[in-house]
């Protein structure tokens, strides 16, 4: 055997070593592949694996394959719950990103089962999707299976056929605590009454509900309620006077003196006890004047009395001083010390009212505000004058049947009857004034009344909290003096809608019917109307209607149709009235 040539035994031994090394390498590679598959994305590696994998850093997500599978299932559950919630509350487009996340994280075979069972069973049966036309508020139901089979249907908005009226699918649901003309009007429109706390479309609520509940609920877009949140800025007597005075002073500071002088439509008023010193000074300046005391937060003429001497309110003043002393000495009861004395308004009494048949009267005018930003005001043509039962005289200022026109006060008169003529329609009153004073004088009076209403609303426009769910039907009480100058007495947030006579029922039924047509819950209007029934649009972010006197900045620019004929009123069948009114004679409609 030559030198440098390996022997046969040595060559065989070397081949065996090479084969053994190759086997070891293959085994190591297989182990590495198995560990990579098992620990892929989990970061679970021991020290040996770290050395074999080139010192790879340990993962911190899981400590074992079982824990990783458990965490993955919990993640899946959370994502599925979020997807279901988004589908229920928002719709498929908002849930689409989460569905893509599911597709990225989890195996396709699981997603196929998930899509099949969830979308076919749950969404088709439970979650219908509502679509709307571009020019139509009627709703058409498109379910999820229709959307996935025909995806072109859902995103598009079909054009409404020409000449087709707007409408609403399904009856309107309403809720109310009242059992008067409001209930009759709602039922006559085919609406369904409900007792649900929030399952209604229209809620005719009282002011107490607004004060206690309204701020704590969230309303849907279609829901409407009949009061603004802080309606009291206009409907509480002392707040109304405060806001009118503030508006007048603001105009004076801006140098708009002529506009400020237009705010002369409310009598001299003081809030007691806060302004007692100023009231006493004004009282002594005109010692022979007659004043009227009113509680600012009461209605129906409660607590009203007249006086002409300071001594006549001595008891009220004495009561106030005693409670103030009790508050200082902490001798009075109650959790907060002494009870506060009941506040009052002291207001100059209008001693020269315009009389009809020797009797004093005031006007009840219905005003509908659908929005404060921009200000949108509707004025109803019909209203009525409320007369005192006895002839006017200043000799007996303690007789409320002479000086207080509220129906609730006049009904306490033993001689009062519903048909005794204590109400007179605005149309009849306008005809009377036209015949006695002339056409221009009568038109000027009702123009002044309309402009006075607009100015009072402008005074609180920036204060009232705007809410698209709210509207307000105000009952304006207006006094007219012998010079035919209107005076704003108060604004009612809840004007009486109970009917005493068939004529009264006829007026209020038509007024409420027109009001709900303006609110347009059924989506029948085009939105461009300036007259709906007896309601005329007089302001919509600016004057609406024929121009007359006044400055546009002050709001007095529109001609009034107040007291004009309403040829669109609906005749009310005698059989549709409440049984107590069917027995009365409805041949004469003095209120129309």
Q: What is the pLDDT of residues 89-104, one digit of tens each?
A: 555 555 566 566 666 6
Categorize the per-residue pLDDT at 422 as very low, low, confident or very high, splitting at 50, 70 and 90.
confident
User: Regarding predicted confidence, which is higher, 414 or 314?
Assistant: 414
Alpha helix ranges (H) inside 39-150: 47-52, 65-89, 92-105, 108-117, 124-126, 144-149
> Torsion angle of alpha carbons 259, 264, 270, 271, nearest 10°?
-60
Nearest-angstrom CA–CA distance, 249 and 59: 74
The percentage of residues in the chain with a pLDDT greater than 70, rounded to a whole number, is 66
Q: What is the pLDDT of residue 336?
A: 37
Measured distance CA(396)–CA(406) in Å, rounded? 18
Exposure string (b/e) for 517-535, b if CB count within 10 Å is 16 or more? bbbbbbbeeeeeeebbbbb
pLDDT for 23 beyond 70: yes
pLDDT recorded at residue 319? 63
The predicted structure's pLDDT at residue 324: 55
Higher local confidence (pLDDT), 419 or 392: 392
Q: Of 72, 74, 102, 71, which is closest to residue 86 (Cα–Cα)?
A: 102
Average pLDDT, integer, range 137-156:
40
Residue 113 has pLDDT above 60, yes or no: no
pLDDT score of 143 more than 50: no
The pLDDT score that the predictor gives to residue 474 is 98
- Report the distance separating Cα 239 and Cα 345, nearest Å: 11
Strand 173-176, strand 202-204: pairing: parallel
- Give the per-residue pLDDT at 159: 36
* Residue 335's pLDDT band (cuts 50, 70, 90): very low
Q: What is the pLDDT of residues 30-61, one digit of tens each?
A: 877 777 766 665 444 444 444 444 444 444 44
Beta strands 224-225 and 202-204, pairing class: parallel
Nearest-angstrom CA–CA distance, 133 and 210: 34
Gyration radius of the chain over CA positions: 39
Global confidence as pTM = 0.70
Confidence at 334, pLDDT banded by 50, 70, 90: very low
Q: Is the pLDDT of residue 157 over 50?
A: no
Q: How confident is the model at residue 221 (pLDDT cuts 50, 70, 90)?
A: confident
Residues 2-17 have pLDDT tens digits of 555 555 555 566 777 8
The predicted structure's pLDDT at residue 112: 56
- The DSSP-derived string for 541-569 is SSB-SSB-SS-TTTT--B---TTS--TTP
Q: Is the pLDDT of residue 165 over 70?
A: no
pLDDT at 163 over 80: no
Task: Say how many CA atoms lie within 13 Å of 270 toward its Cβ.
Answer: 16
Contact 425, 384 (CB under 8 A): yes
* More reliable by pLDDT, 586 or 510: 510
Give the pLDDT mean for 403-421. 81
Residue 586 confidence (pLDDT): 53
At residue 224, does pLDDT exceed 80? yes
Report the C-alpha gap between 367 and 370 in whole angstroms: 10
Element (H, E) at 315: helix 314-329
Q: How far is CA 352 from CA 345, 347, 359, 422, 484, in A?
A: 20, 15, 12, 20, 10
Distance CA 46, CA 393 (A): 108
Taking residues 415-428, report their average pLDDT: 82
- Give the C-alpha distances (Å, rounded to integers) separating 483 from 289, 338, 393, 445, 479: 19, 46, 18, 10, 11
The residues, any chain, with a CB within 8 Å of residue 121's CB and separated by 6 or more, are none
State mean pLDDT over 311-322: 69
- Tell me the pLDDT tens digit for each residue of 229-269: 999 999 999 999 999 999 999 999 999 999 999 999 999 99
Confidence (pLDDT) at 289? 92
Q: Is 60 exceeded by the pLDDT of residue 428?
A: yes
Containing 385, the helix (H) or strand (E) segment is strand 384-387
545 versus 509: the higher-pLDDT residue is 509
Judged against a pLDDT cut of 50, whether residue 473 lies above it is answered with: yes
Q: Angle 189-191-470 (CA atoms, 0-180°, nearest 5)?
A: 95
Place of tokens 């996340």: 101
Mean of the per-residue pLDDT values for the chain? 77
pLDDT of residue 131: 39
pLDDT at 483: 96
Determine if the peptide bond prior to 374 is cis (ω within 30°): yes
**Which tens digit of pLDDT belongs to each residue from 360-405?**
999 999 999 999 999 999 999 999 999 998 999 999 999 989 999 8
Residue 269 DSSP one-character state:
E
236 or 70, which is more confident? 236
Residue-wise pLDDT tens digits, 557-586:
678 999 998 888 877 766 667 766 766 665
Percentage of residues of the chain with pLDDT beyond 90? 42
Q: What is the pLDDT of residues 186-217, one digit of tens each?
A: 999 999 999 988 889 999 998 888 888 877 78
Q: What is the pLDDT of residues 259-299, one digit of tens each?
A: 999 999 999 999 988 888 899 999 999 888 999 999 887 87
HEC assignment per residue over 4-16: CCCCHHHHHHHHH
Distance CA 300, CA 51 (A): 93
Q: Which residues pair with 474 in a beta bridge?
A: 367
Residues 6+ apart with CB under 8 A from 52: 28, 32
């Amino acid at each position: 055997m030559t030198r440098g040539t390996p022997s046969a035994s040595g060559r065989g031994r070397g081949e065996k070593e090479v084969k053994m090394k190759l086997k070891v390498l293959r085994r190591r590679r297989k182990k590495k592949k198995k560990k990579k598959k098992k620990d892929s994305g989990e970061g679970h590696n021991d020290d040996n694996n770290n050395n074999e994998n080139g010192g790879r850093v340990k993962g911190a997500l899981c400590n074992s394959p079982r824990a990783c599978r458990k965490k993955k299932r919990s993640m899946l559950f959370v994502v599925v719950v979020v997807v279901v919630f988004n589908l229920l509350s928002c719709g498929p487009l908002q849930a689409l990103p989460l569905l893509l996340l599911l597709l990225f994280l989890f195996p396709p075979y699981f997603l196929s089962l998930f899509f099949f069972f969830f979308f076919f069973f749950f969404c088709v049966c439970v979650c219908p999707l509502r679509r709307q036309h571009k020019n139509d508020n009627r709703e058409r139901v498109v379910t999820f299976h229709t959307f996935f089979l025909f995806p072109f249907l859902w995103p598009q908005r079909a054009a409404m056929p020409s000449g087709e009226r707007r409408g609403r699918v399904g009856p309107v649901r309403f809720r109310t605590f009242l059992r008067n003309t409001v209930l009759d009007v709602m039922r006559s429109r085919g609406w369904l009454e409900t007792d649900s706390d929030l399952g209604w479309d229209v809620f005719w609520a009282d002011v107490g509900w607004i004060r206690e509940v309204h701020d704590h609920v969230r309303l849907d877009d279609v829901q409407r309620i009949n009061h603004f949140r802080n309606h009291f800025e206009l409907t509480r007597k002392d707040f109304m006077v405060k806001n009118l005075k503030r508006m007048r002073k603001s105009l004076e500071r801006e140098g708009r003196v002529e506009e400020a002088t237009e705010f002369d439509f409310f009598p001299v008023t003081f809030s007691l006890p806060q302004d007692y010193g100023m009231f006493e000074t004004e009282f002594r300046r005109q010692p022979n004047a007659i004043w009227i005391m009113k509680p600012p937060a009461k209605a129906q003429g409660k607590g009203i009395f007249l006086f002409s001497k300071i001594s006549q309110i001595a008891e009220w003043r004495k009561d106030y001083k005693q409670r103030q002393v009790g508050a200082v000495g902490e001798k009075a009861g109650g959790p907060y010390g002494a009870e506060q004395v009941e506040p009052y308004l002291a207001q100059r009494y209008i001693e020269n009212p315009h009389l009809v048949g020797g009797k004093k009267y005031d006007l009840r005018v219905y005003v509908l505000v659908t929005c404060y930003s921009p200000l949108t005001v509707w004025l109803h043509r019909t209203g009525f004058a409320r007369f005192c039962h006895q002839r006017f005289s200043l000799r007996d200022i303690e007789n409320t049947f002479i000086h207080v026109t509220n129906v609730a006060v006049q009904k306490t008169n033993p001689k009062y009857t519903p048909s005794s003529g204590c109400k007179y329609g605005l149309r009849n009153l306008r005809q009377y004034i036209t015949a006695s004073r002339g056409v221009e004088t009568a038109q000027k009076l009702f123009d002044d009344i309309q402009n006075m209403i607009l100015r009072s609303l402008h005074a609180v426009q920036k204060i009232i909290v705007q809410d698209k769910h709210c509207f307000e039907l105000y009952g304006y009480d207006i006094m007219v003096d012998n010079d035919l100058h209107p005076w704003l007495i108060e604004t009612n947030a809840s004007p009486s809608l109970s009917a005493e006579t068939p004529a009264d029922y006829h007026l209020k039924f038509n007024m409420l019917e027109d009001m709900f047509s303006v609110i347009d819950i059924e989506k029948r209007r085009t939105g461009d109307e300036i007259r709906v029934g007896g309601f005329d649009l007089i302001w919509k972010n600016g004057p609406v209607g024929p121009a007359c006197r006044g400055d546009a900045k002050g709001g007095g620019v529109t001609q009034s149709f107040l007291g004009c004929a309403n040829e669109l009123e609906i005749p009310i069948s005698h059989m549709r009235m409440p049984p107590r009114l069917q027995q009365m004679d409805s041949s004469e409609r003095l209120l129309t």
